[in-house]
Amino acid sequence: FTWERLDEASHAYERLYNFLEQVKQRTGSEAGEETEETRVARERFVSALEDDLNTPEALSALYHLVTKATAWFGGHYDDEEARNAGVSAGGETPKEAIQNIYRLLGAARILRELGGILGLMFSPPEIPPQVLALVEKRDQARREKKFDQADFYRKQITDMGFIMADTGGKTVIRRQV
């Protein structure tokens, strides 16, 4: 045991958790279908556990999936179908952007399922109503181009232990780990 290894484990968990939070906040769901990428991740995961319960390799399969899936967030596609899907996803065409949304949802579902086998609990903590109110005030200030006021709200939110990211016209918020 070392404190350094504990910090590494914390950052690794945070990476997986943050991916799930981004998918959920950008899409409003985590209920995707299995894709080729998730089938490969599942096969690597199961194979690792069947090999003398090789948990480092099983976790590696999850990290590999998250690394690959993170690229699917991509940029914003200004298309009504993509906007209605509620996510900013990468892709050359609106159709590819929508496909990436489904791939993200599938990756989130398999990450939650397989992570649960290892005892990784990804239940998000509730965000207090006062923090959500500050986020709304900040978003309103940004829409009105009152950036000093928006920065003031951001600092309050950060001081309360939350991290924010502005993505695709939405503010994604999560508790600092």
Confidence (pLDDT) at 90: 54
**Once rounded to an integer, what is the mean pLDDT over residues 136-142?**
91
Computed from CA positions of residues 140, 146, 149, 154, in that sequence, does the dihedral angle turn out positive or negative? positive
Name which residue leads in pLDDT, 85 or 33.
33
**Residue 124, pLDDT score:** 61
Cα distance between residue 79 and residue 97, in whole Å: 9
Determine which of 3-12, 93-102, 147-156, 158-167 has the lowest per-residue pLDDT on average. Answer: 93-102
Work out the burial of residue 76: count CB atoms within 10 Å of its CB; fewer than 13 is exposed, 13-18 middle, 19 or more buried.
Answer: middle
Residue 125: the pLDDT is: 63
pLDDT tens sequence across 115-135? 888 888 776 667 888 999 999
Q: Rounded mean pLDDT of the chain?
A: 81
What average pLDDT does range 65-87 have in this prediction?
Answer: 60
Taken in order 42, 47, 48, 52, is the CA torsion positive or negative?
Answer: positive
Q: Is the pLDDT of residue 88 over 70?
A: no
pLDDT at 82 over 70: no
User: Do 22 and 66 touch, CB atoms closer than 8 A?
Assistant: no
Angstrom distance (rounded) from CA 140 to CA 142: 5
More confident site: 90 or 147: 147
What span, in angstroms and rounded, lies between the C-alpha atoms of 46 and 44? 6
So what's the pLDDT on residue 26? 76
**Residues 5-62: pLDDT tens digits?**
888 888 888 888 888 888 887 777 666 778 888 899 999 999 999 999 898 999 999 9
Higher pLDDT: 66 or 101? It is: 66
Give the H or E element holding residue 167: strand 162-167
